[in-house]
């Protein structure tokens, strides 16, 4: 069985406070709806009978969520704790798709295509990557890219994994997470040759996949995709205004007159 999880437990304490005083980033409004609403709506388009867990504040604050069989869990202190809590709330699920709450441009077709490709490759772990030109064609804002031999890529905000595979490597993930802010201790784990290749721009996608297999024994694959909405997240004001403008012009949603009026008022106040 397939299950979905949305990580929505980040407090709005960073640069996005400039655009909204919402307590949680997932609840920053886009045209009258919280950002996470758009992610849940996309999942609802492909959800079927699959359960969904949202690790974040209850959507009851904003009315009924646009999805079925949706369970909310209070967020924990760390990413791994949130992931573990989400998994415990998905009993009987052997495939899990995890999404972050900050990708409001995503659509159901993007999610369905990613799942299909992971299944076709029979991966244990799947992670989407998007070329720079595809990201900039969708939303031309500044973001971080990794230079590989195949091009410049941005990592996506969807993750696919088989539950049993994740269980086997959980101690390894916990170890890496503990060292995430200690690069000198983390680097030897992945190998200096890999790091040098990354710095020189000669690192191949295949190199990373082979290293992941040697470290974990799992079939992990980067999934190149032109579906840029998977990678275009909102983490600064520039992203917010560009994404809101895109949503207002997309024709995908029947926004209320009041939401559109408030949107244009905010736009008129910006330089």
pLDDT digits (tens, 9 = 90+) for 162-190: 999 988 888 888 887 777 667 667 677 77
Q: Which of 90, 42, 49, 81 is nearest to 68 (CA)?
A: 49
What's the pLDDT band for 269 if we cut at 50, 70, 90? Answer: low
Torsions phi, psi of 71, nearest 5?
-110, 135
- 96-155: pLDDT as tens digits: 999 999 999 999 999 999 999 999 999 999 999 999 999 999 999 888 898 899 999 999
* Domain 2-255 top-level CATH class: alpha beta
Distances (CA, A) of 96 to 47, 143, 149: 12, 27, 30
What's the pLDDT band for 12 if we cut at 50, 70, 90? Answer: very high
In the three-class reduction of DSSP (H, G, I as helix; E, B as strand; rest coil), residue 64 is classed as coil
pTM of this structure: 0.88
**For residue 171, how many other CB atoms are within 10 A of its CB?**
9
Which tokens in the block code for residue 176? 């890496």
Please report how many Cα atoms fall inside a 13 Å half-sphere around the Cα of residue 269, on the Cβ side.
Answer: 8
Structural element, H or E, at residue 187:
helix 183-190
Which residue would you say has higher pLDDT here, 220 or 77? 220
Q: Are 48 and 76 in contact (CB under 8 A)?
A: no
- 33-51: pLDDT as tens digits: 889 999 999 999 999 889 9
DSSP string, 106-132: --HHHHHHHHHHHHHHT-SEEEEEEEH
**For residue 136, how many other CB atoms are within 10 A of its CB?**
16
- Structural Rg of the chain based on CA atoms: 19
Whether 257 shows a pLDDT value over 50: the answer reads no
Q: Which of 131, 111, 113 is nearest to 121 (CA)?
A: 113
Whether 29 shows a pLDDT value over 50: the answer reads yes
Pairs from 9-18 (Cβ < 8 Å, separation ≥ 24):
9/55, 9/56, 9/57, 9/75, 9/76, 9/82, 10/101, 14/235, 15/235, 15/236, 15/237, 16/234, 16/235, 16/236, 16/237, 16/240, 18/237
Query: Residue with structure tokens 């069985």?
Result: 1
Produce one character per residue of 11-36: b if its CB has 16 or more CB atoms within 10 Å, e if not. Answer: ebeeebeebbebebbbbbbbbbbbbb
């Amino acid at each position: 069985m397939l299950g979905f999880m949305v990580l929505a437990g980040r407090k709005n304490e960073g640069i996005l406070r400039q655009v909204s005083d919402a307590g949680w980033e997932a609840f920053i409004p886009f045209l009258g709806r919280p950002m996470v609403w758009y992610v849940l709506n996309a999942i609802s388009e492909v959800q079927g009978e699959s359960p969904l867990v949202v690790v974040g504040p209850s959507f009851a604050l904003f009315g009924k969520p646009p999805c079925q069989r949706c369970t909310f869990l209070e967020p924990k202190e760390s990413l791994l704790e949130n992931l573990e809590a989400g998994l415990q709330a998905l009993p009987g699920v052997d495939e899990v798709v995890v999404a972050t709450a900050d990708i409001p441009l995503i659509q159901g077709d993007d999610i369905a295509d990613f799942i299909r490709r992971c299944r076709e490759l029979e991966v244990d772990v799947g992670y989407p990557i998007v070329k720079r030109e595809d990201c900039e064609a969708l939303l031309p804002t500044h973001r971080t890219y990794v230079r590989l031999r195949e091009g410049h890529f941005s990592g996506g905000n969807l993750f696919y994994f088989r539950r049993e595979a994740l269980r086997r490597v959980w101690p390894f993930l916990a170890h890496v997470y503990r060292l995430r802010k200690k690069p000198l201790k983390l680097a030897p784990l992945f190998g200096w040759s890999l790091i040098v290749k990354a710095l020189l721009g000669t690192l191949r996608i295949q190199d990373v996949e082979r290293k992941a297999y040697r470290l974990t024994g799992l079939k992990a694959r980067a999934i190149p995709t032109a579906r840029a909405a998977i990678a275009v997240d909102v983490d600064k004001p520039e992203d917010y205004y560009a994404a809101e403008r895109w949503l207002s012009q997309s024709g995908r949603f029947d926004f209320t007159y009041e939401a559109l009026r408030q949107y244009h008022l905010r736009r008129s106040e910006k330089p």
